[in-house]
Amino acid sequence: MTDIFLTFFSPITNSVGPLSLFPSLFVFSSLAPTLLRITVAFILVGIGYKTVRVGGGSTFVGIVEILASLLILAGFLTQLGVIIALITIISIVVKNSRNYNRPEYFMGYNFLLIVILLSLLITGPGAFALDLPL
């Protein structure tokens, strides 16, 4: 009975490891969080700039968003920056939840940011970061 269970629910592997079309790309796996970190940082700088300049919220919140995005971009205190960014993005989602039918409040974009930020919180900053693993 256990053989049948293992046959259906075990990952597909060979003698070396998991099967992949391009196993040589696993060398660059530490770059994936780096790419996510840089992308999210630039998006958050834009959100913070819009909050400060256009008047989408208070100036203090916009400055905090920009500082959190700079922390994420540099990879310094990444988890703190991610937590601050998560709080601001979740507050945007909650504040605009009643306007989800309007095209300028597309919630899928915010949920994608939340998922990327959560993955950075869990996996860490990746390569080329100033955070040192303890």
pLDDT-based confidence at residue 2 (cuts at 50, 70, 90): low
Write out pLDDT tens, residues 74-130: 989 889 999 999 998 888 788 777 766 665 556 778 888 999 999 999 988 888 888
Q: Which of 12-16, 37-41, 51-55, 130-134 has the lowest mean pLDDT?
A: 12-16
Tens digits of residue pLDDT in 13-39:
555 556 777 778 888 888 889 999 999
Q: What is the DSSP string of the chain?
A: -HHHHHHHHSPPB-SSSB--S-GGGGGGTTHHHHHHHHHHHHHHHHHHHIIIII-SS-HHHHHHHHHHHHHHHHTSSHHHHHHHHHHHHHHHHHHTGGGTTSGGG-HHHHHHHHHHHHHHHHH---SS-S----
Q: 21: buried, middle or exposed (CB in 10 Å: 19+, 13-18, 0-12)?
A: exposed
Q: What is the pTM for the complete model shown?
A: 0.75
Confidence label for 3 from pLDDT (cuts 50, 70 and 90): low
